[in-house]
Structure 1
Amino acid sequence: MPSLARVYAGASVELTVTGDPRLTRPRVRGAAPAPVSVVLEAEATRVAADHGGSAATTRAPVLVIPQPRPQQQAAWLRLLPSTRLRVHGRLAPPMRDGDRIAAVLRVNGGGAPQIVAGPTAAQRVAGRLRGGLRAATDELGPDARALLPGLVVGDTSRVSPDLEEAFRAADMTHLLAVSGSNLSVILVLLIGPPHLAARAERRGLAARLGIPLRMTALLGGGLTLGFVIVCRPDPSVLRAAACGLITLLAIATGRRRSLLPALAAAVLVLVLYDPWLARSYGFLLSVLATGALLTLAPGLGAALRRRGLPPRPAEMLAAAVAAQAVCAPVVVVLAGRVSLVAIPCNLIAELAVAPATILGFAALAAAPFAFPAAECLAWLAGWPAGWIASVARAGAGLPGAELAWPGGWTGGLLLAAVTAVAVLTGRRLLRHRLLCALCALFLLLVLIRPAPLARVISGWPPPGWRLVVCDVGQGDALVLSAGPGAAVVVDTGPEPRAVDRCLRRLGVVRIPLLVLTHFHADHVAGLSGALRGRAVGAIETTPLRDPPDQAESVRRRAGAAHIPVITAAPGERRRVGSLSWEVLWPPPTAVRSAERQGAAVPPVEGPNDASVTLLVRTAGLTFLLLGDLEPPAQSALLAAHPTLSEVDVLKVAHHGSAYQDPGLLRRVSPRLALISCGADNPYGHPSPRTVAALRAQGAAVLRTDSAGPIAITGPDLRAAVR
């Protein structure tokens, strides 16, 4: 398979599905979102190259990317693990050297999958159970509907990108999907605490029902195997299952049990069975967290109890601190950041994990037999699941939720050293209550980052700022100050997190008007980030609803947030405090002409030429914001507004592309030209020719790809960069 993949050979392949098919996450590529694809993991069992050679039998893991027509997509998504398929496609090498998969297989044609043999009976039952839980959660709120199937059976198909980002920022991703802790909750419910499982005072349902120890162990083993089948053998699930089975074996044989040897034996068995787990960061994090709970947490909990903390809170705090201390260096290796809200968020969310898990599994079991009861149980489970999601969103929403940190193994080792020093000094610090209180206050200030304090420390944003061009990569997001805590926002960039971070650093909590110049993804895909935690008066858009899918997405998001959507019209004038602006473009007649493809008034050629264009006045400065206007629309704008004269600041159209109207540049003759573009973007923005033309007009040119976010203060037109 690797040799065929290296030459991009076409081949007929028989394969066995090994994981649930899923849709790729939406990503913005230029002006449009990248198409969402179906992907699934499989094991190739037989391969025959198109040109020469006979069919060969193999066992090679492959990543399959079918390209079905929209009406056939559901057929691929319904495939269950253990299903055997026959496909024809082109092989390609994986993107990274040393990847687990031997090849990427892009399937030819857009039809339904050709099934050679259906799934096993166990997988069919598991599929029905998972489908029943999804159906039972259909009427829950968006976050609970997305999170509960993931928490119970690992089905994250409904988790939105912004919810996933919130869990990542709060270091709660282990709660976003099924993990070993879920199995632990179920086993404890059956056998009680493991250290009491063989004693006379043992607890759990098995003891209450009078089930003997050996039968309890057998029931626990069957429950564990069923859990792995239904929830899929992810690394953390395998680790928890192996530990659980070893503990159950010890209970059944009456031997002395110690959980740490059980963990070590489980790791050894699993790595011998599947050596690739030794390279899995998920498996590593699961083992480290469990090891910390068994070794570090008991001593830390005892120390906290000696200092007056009640037993249960002491145990929870010790577990969260121990797990975070050993896992954070590994997270830094992957992500290059440290979450400062991980411990409090996990502590608060932990209160809801057990109720959500138990009620979710009850709904899962009841769905095939009593669906109304399953809906009721899912409704009950939705409350703690919604609580967990709210904790993640609240934690991730804090300005200081994350701290940038060097990535790679160097950063991981550095954080491990800092953690060790913090532990050593922390032991002495706990003896001084005043110092503890001061440290807690300092941490609170770092998390909240009040705007005045952040401005004093970092110098950003500069006092008296009037316009900020956010650094959102290859896209546009501009912020116009409209008073303390308020701003008019023009476009939201391609990614929610970037515009949200920019607005938080500016201290913006109220947006009287959010203008979307046109519906290309690099201008509107970050909308949810701008709306997050802010009061928005209205969203104003261009009259041309193109591309239709992005326009519909904006309407859907605005409707969910109960924000009115209005249409911009030339001549419209508005004012908020000292900020005023006028809409110059596009004329409704031009948009109507484009929609009916007529030739009446110069029609717009597409979404770029329908960009809402604003002339803004504030603090004695004038700003011309051109959106993505192309030269024909720029020329028509000049003709429609013969009185348009010089401006102080020009937001250069279309990220500084080479297509600019020289007449417009001469007419407005800006003192400062601002270009919003992404570093190393594939379009070559900004064009050297455009930059040279602006400088020839006497304009200073600032660009976000090299300067980062840019702030303009008035009335002396000073520019500051972050």
Structure 2
Amino acid sequence: MSGPGAGAEEQGKPPPDLRLVGPALVVWTTTAVVLGAGPGAVLRVVAGVAAVVCGAVLLLWSGRRSRGRQLAGLLLSVGAAALAATLATADLHRGPLPGLARRQAVVEARLTVTRDPREGAGGGAAPYVVVRATVDQVEGMSVRTPVTVLAEGAEAGRWLALLPSTRLAVSGRLRPVEGGDVAALLVVRGPPQVVTGPDTVQRAAGALRAGLRSAVRPLEPDPRALLPGLVVGDTSAVPPDLDEAFKATDLAHITAVSGANLSIILVLLVGAAARARTVERGGLAARVGLPLRVTAGGGAALTVGFVILCRPDPSVLRAAGTGLIMLLALATGRRAAPLAALAGATLLLMLVDPWLALSYGFALSAMATAGLLTLGPRWAEALTRRGWPGWAAEALACAAAAQVLCGPLLVVKAARVSLVAIPCNLLAEAAVAPATLLGFAALAAAPVSMAVAEFLAWLASFPTDWIIALARFAADLPGAEVAWPGGWGGAVLLAAVSCAAVACLPVLRHPAVAVLLALSLLAVLLRPAPLTRLVTGWPPDHWRVVMCSVGQGDAEVVSAGPGSALVIDAGPDPHAVNRCLRSLGVVRIPLLLLTHDHADHVEGLPGVLHDRQVGAIETTPSQDPPAEWARIRRWAGQARVPLLTAAPGESRGLGELHWQVLWPDGPLDSAVRGPNNASVALLVTAPGLRMAFLGDLEPPAQSRLMEHLDAYPGLRHLDVLKVAHHGSAKQDPDLIRALAPRLALISCGAGNTYGHPAPVTLALLRSLGATVLRTDLQGDLAVLDAGGRLSVATHER
């Protein structure tokens, strides 16, 4: 509805309507400040009312003076935003539920589901389901308090079938939460007890979504997972490695339904907004002869249906609000003003749902749209003047404008910058529209004929496959993304760099400069090994073992010759471990050992398997937790890699590299319970080097391991020790004293909430003369052996 082109009637190019931009920004800022200010609702109400009164007085005093009216409007916006935000936070503190949550009381409650349930598992926990809901009754009192329901247990999966508007009777324990837009966390076990099923509208929307899932079932795994997300926002089946590829290329907005999808559908119905009131207007409505007001009404109904079907996510709400305002202008004969529509939609949505002011997705959607409406047309005109075809100039300008405005926000959340984002978005855009339209056609056909729906889904899989192949190819480029300072400081820095880059663009008119820049960018993207080593010094020569910096998790690489390695654990992030292995030039992994099945050691498995020859995956005999073990089985099966189980006393070798399984020494008894104590512990030896990898063993298992020291004399006075459990305080001092390592390597995430590594563990290691190195402080850690002399190189990412 809001393309950058100008209509035939607007050859004079009137200036953009900025009257609502100021109030929208003021409302957004005020709402964010009030919501982030913590408790103090009374003071915020007083401040809001005072601002409204001041604004009203100033409005009356200023009369017809435009500046006075503008200032009055801004003050009114401040007051309205403060009042709306205060009322929103008041809902979280009203009634008995917050007090019950502070006491962690067990309650019987009636509640209404407000959003689709989602499945999750992390940190080695059992699978669970998260459901957003509103408590209608608790302790016999009628309330209306938003909560998050956490369903645990063997029957948690039954919660995934619930639809919004379903009413439930539950029994569970309340827990307090800090911040956010809910009053408490309600932890329940067992299946849901449905009191009233979903209403007719939600039942119909749920049936359509289920029909699309059925229609895509015959497709290959990747398009089967992505197409429902592209069409209706159902991303439950998107695999982690594909999700990481979309994040690395800044195509993540494609993995979930966005405002662009609504724009595509409205353009199909109404035609381009710039030509909506001309005889050349397009769209299906014009072809069947519908008048403008009827067309606008049909577009409004379609927009409401789209929000219900695709769920009121922030980007969908932003697109719906903007579209409805544009349709209102169409129906009343007013000039289309896309920027004013965006500002008006933002202002109204913030007042209706103040929590959108803190929504990362809403901010990205609004900034991307602002880029398309402000910078996009100007850059497109500049490219056209330099001889670019109109379609190419508009496509490139829009992709670049959206990326320039969204880039600083992306840096706030993830401290990195994608170097392939603009070309990837440019190339993917051509496939988004056909995939979306064919996907919606399959969704509409499913209730009538599943065969037709499956055929349409098969057609939609071709553009979807193009998007997937593009994301995977670009993400696999060694220089697809670069580290960048995070937080708001990094955002300001990136904004300054972007402005400087735009200012320097005229220099590219010189062919020599353009060629040099293109070659430099190509070198950064491909990162040929000789050039990378020359510039960064990584990987160092003669490296023997590398502890990869993968965040709060473990991933170690032991060299077994050029391009070959024994890999121990995969970390929590497929992208991080893949990047580490790629930087080391590892293409063959005869054995991948997963010490135990916690997520921080195994969730990166798809990254290890990606484009590498993996001979086998070996795991602990304890298949706990079951959810992670199921993922390991699925990933190994998809890659056709055999699964082995570590045997007590097992001994293997690979050239001059040898390793022995120290633990488990047999079936685990009640004294050494839990997945951590089931970790496979290894003694790895190579010429002149002895190393021990202890997984996440805790004191009960470590004490038992002490009993085997006489059987493994190579364990005493180690060269390298991978400290157990990220250096936590749960260590057996006697074992560490017996091992007496020269180097102690600790893998942990920067700023982790577990307190890893523990000061007592660091003090013990240093008291034994060990050199302690940590991934949270020094990045990747490489142990080198140059002529029999042990040394360490580090590489920050």
Q: Into which bin does the TM-score normalised by the smaller protein fall?
A: 0.7 to 0.9
- For residue 425 of structure 1, the aligned residue among 486, 492, 504 is 504
1:27 to 87, 106, 122: 122
- The match for 2:414 is 335
Native 8 Å contact 2:428 2:467 kept in 1: yes
Q: Deviations over 1:591-611 (max 9, x none)?
A: 3xx27x79xxx9999774662
TM-score where L is the length of structure 2: 0.79
The answer to whether 1:36 aligns with 2:115 is no
1:559 aligns with 2:637: yes
TM-score, normalisation: structure 1: 0.87
Letter in 1 for 2:594: L
Deviates more, 1:120-129 or 1:410-419: 410-419
Percent pairwise identity: 54
Residue aligned with 1:487, SS: strand
For 2:634, give the aligned amino acid: R
Letter in 2 for 1:631: Q
Residue 359 of structure 1: how far off its partner (Å): 0.6
Matches within 5 A, 1:685-696: none
For residue 67 of structure 1, give the secondary structure of its aligned residue in structure 2.
Answer: strand
Identify which of 697, 702, 706 aligns with 1:631.
702
**3-state SS in 2 of match to 1:70:** coil
Q: In the alignment, what sits opposite 1:581?
A: 658
Say if 1:651 and 1:144 are closer, same or farther in 2 by CA, change over 3 A: same
2:612 alignment counterpart: 534
Q: Which moved more, 1:549-558 or 1:434-443?
A: 549-558
Pairwise CA distance, 1:718: 1.1
Report the Cα offset of residue 150 of structure 1: 1.3
SS of the residue 2:773 aligns to = strand
User: Deviations 1:514-548 (Å, cap 9, x if unpaired)?
Assistant: 22334444433321222223232332344554555
> Who is 2:689 aligned against?
621
Tell me whether 1:508 sits opposite 2:508 in the alignment: no
Q: Supply the distance in 1 between the matched residues of 2:678 and 2:134 (Cα, whole angstroms).
A: 49
More off after superposition, 3-12 vs 364-373: 3-12
Q: For residues 779 and 684 of structure 2, what CA distance do their matches in structure 1 show? A: 24
Say how many residue pairs are matched.
Answer: 692
Whole-angstrom distance in 1 between the partners of 2:722 and 2:529: 26
What is residue 173 of structure 1 aligned with on the other side? 252
Which of the residues 169, 176, 184 maps onto 1:104? Answer: 184
2:708 aligned counterpart, secondary structure? helix
Q: Distance in 2 between matches of 1:627 and 1:23?
A: 27
What does 1:185-334 align with in structure 2 at a 5 Å threshold? 185-334=264-413
Q: Give yes or no for contact 1:679–1:706 (8 Å, CA) kept in 2.
A: yes
Q: Note if 1:71 corresponds to 2:149.
A: no
Following superposition, the deviation at residue 106 of structure 1 comes to 0.5
Provide closer, same or farther for how the CA distance between residues 204 and 464 of structure 1 changes in structure 2, counting only shifts above 3 A: same
Report matched runs for 1:337-352 at 5 Å.
337-352=416-431
1:369 aligns with 2:448: yes
SS at match of 1:674: strand
User: What SS class does the counterpart of residue 717 from structure 1 fall into?
Assistant: strand
Residues of 2 paired with 1:330 and 1:162: CA distance? 23
Cα–Cα, structure 1 residues 681 and 296, in superposed 2: closer, same or farther, change >3 Å? closer
Letter in 2 for 1:613: L
Structure 2 residue matching 1:314: 3-state secondary structure: helix
- Inter-CA distance 36–199: structure 2 relative to 1 (3 Å threshold): same
- Residue 93 of structure 1 deviates from its aligned partner by 4.3
* Gap change, CA 1:307 and 1:369, over 3 Å in 2: same
* Stretch moving more, 625-634 or 171-180: 625-634
State the distance in 2 between where 1:664 and 1:93 align. Answer: 39
Is the alpha carbon distance of 1:635 and 1:259 closer, same or farther for their aligned partners in structure 2, counting shifts above 3 Å?
A: closer
Indicate the residue corresponding to 1:718 in structure 2.
791
- The alpha-carbon distance between structure 1 residues 689 and 120, as it changes in their structure 2 partners (threshold 3 A), is closer
Q: Is 2:603 aligned against 1:492?
A: no
Any idea what SS the aligned residue of 2:447 has?
coil
* Residues 68-95 of structure 1: per-residue CA shift (max 9 Å, x gap): 5433642x32322233344455554442
Contact 2:97-2:138 at 8 Å conserved across structures: no
Please state how far the C-alpha of 1:456 moved relative to its aligned partner. Answer: 2.5
More deviation in 567-576 or 304-313? Answer: 567-576
Residue number among 221, 229, 244 corresponding to 1:142 in the alignment? 221
Question: CA–CA distance in 1 between the matches of 2:238 and 2:344?
Answer: 34
Q: For the structure 1 residues 581 and 81, does the alpha-carbon distance in structure 2 shift closer, same or farther, using more than 3 Å as the test? A: same
Secondary structure of the residue that 1:616 maps to in structure 2? strand
Match of 1:708 among 763, 766, 779: 779
Measured in 2, the distance between the counterparts of 1:273 and 1:305 equals 41
Deviates more, 1:127-136 or 1:453-462: 453-462
Is this contact kept in 2: 1:147–1:156, CA < 8 A?
yes
Cα RMSD (Å) of the superposition? 3.2
Contact 1:475 1:493 in 2 (8 A): yes
- With over 3 angstroms needed to count, the CA separation of the structure-2 counterparts of 1:700 and 1:421, relative to structure 1, is closer
Cα distance change, pair 5–559 in 1 and its aligned pair in 2 (3 A): same
**Residue from 74, 81, 98 that aligns with 2:164:** 81
Name the SS for the 2:611 alignment partner: coil
User: Per-residue CA shift, 1:294-318, capped at 9, x if unaligned?
Assistant: 2221221122223233322221111
Q: Could you list the runs of 5+ residues in structure 2 that have no partner in the other structure?
A: 1-91
Structure 1 Cα separation of the partners of residues 752 and 297 of structure 2: 59
Change (3 A) 1:364 1:531: same
* Superposed counterparts of 1:591-670, under 5 Å: 591=666, 594=667, 608=677, 611-618=680-687, 620-628=688-696, 630-641=701-712, 647-656=718-727, 659-660=731-732, 662=734, 666=738, 670=741
Secondary structure of the 1:16 match is strand
| Partners of 1:21 and 1:317 in 2: CA distance | 38
Contact 2:616-2:643 at 8 Å conserved across structures:
yes
Distance 2:599 2:130 in 1: 23
Once the 2 structures are TM-superposed, how far is the Cα of residue 365 of structure 1 from its aligned partner?
0.3
Give yes or no for contact 1:634–1:664 (8 Å, CA) kept in 2: no
Instruction: Quote the Cα distance in structure 2 between the aligned partners of 1:464 and 1:535.
Output: 23
What is the Cα deviation at residue 14 of structure 1?
4.3
Shift of residue 652, structure 1, vs aligned partner: 4.0
Return the alpha-carbon distance in structure 2 between the equivalents of residues 381 and 527 of structure 1: 30
After superposition, the Cα gap between the structure-2 partners of 1:454 and 1:356, relative to the gap in structure 1 and judged at 3 Å, is: same
CA contact 2:548–2:577 (8 Å) conserved in 1:
yes
Superposed CA offset, 1:577-627 (max 9, x none): xx421335458xx53xx27x79xxx99997746625233214x43434444
Distance of 1:643 and 1:284 partners within structure 2 = 57
Tell me what 1:465 maps to: 543
3-state SS of paired residue (1:455): helix
Q: Secondary structure at the match of 1:479?
A: strand
**Which is further off, 170-179 or 402-411?**
402-411
Distance in structure 1 (CA, Å) of the matches to 2:380 and 2:400: 10
User: 1:678 and 1:264, CA in 2 relative to 1: closer, same or farther beyond 3 A?
Assistant: closer
- Deviation string 1:22-63 (CA, Å, 9 cap, x unpaired) is 223x222xxxx123332222334x44457xxxx3554x4x13
Cα deviations across residues 306-365 of structure 1 (Å, max 9, x unaligned)? 323332222111100011111212222333332222111111211210111001000110
Q: Which amino acid aligns with 1:538?
A: A
Is this contact kept in 2: 1:649–1:673, CA < 8 A? yes
Structure-1 residue corresponding to 2:43 = none
1:444 aligns to what SS in structure 2?
helix
Query: In the superposition, relative to structure 1, how do residues 378 and 703 fare at CA in structure 2: closer, same or farther (>3 Å)?
Result: same
2:417 counterpart SS class: strand
Whether the 8 Å CA contact 2:646–2:680 is kept in 1: the answer is: no
**2:244 touches 2:574 (CA, 8 Å); kept in 1?**
no
| Aligned partner of 2:233 among 134, 141, 154 | 154
Tell me how far apart the structure 1 counterparts of residues 406 and 761 of structure 2 sit (CA, whole Å).
48
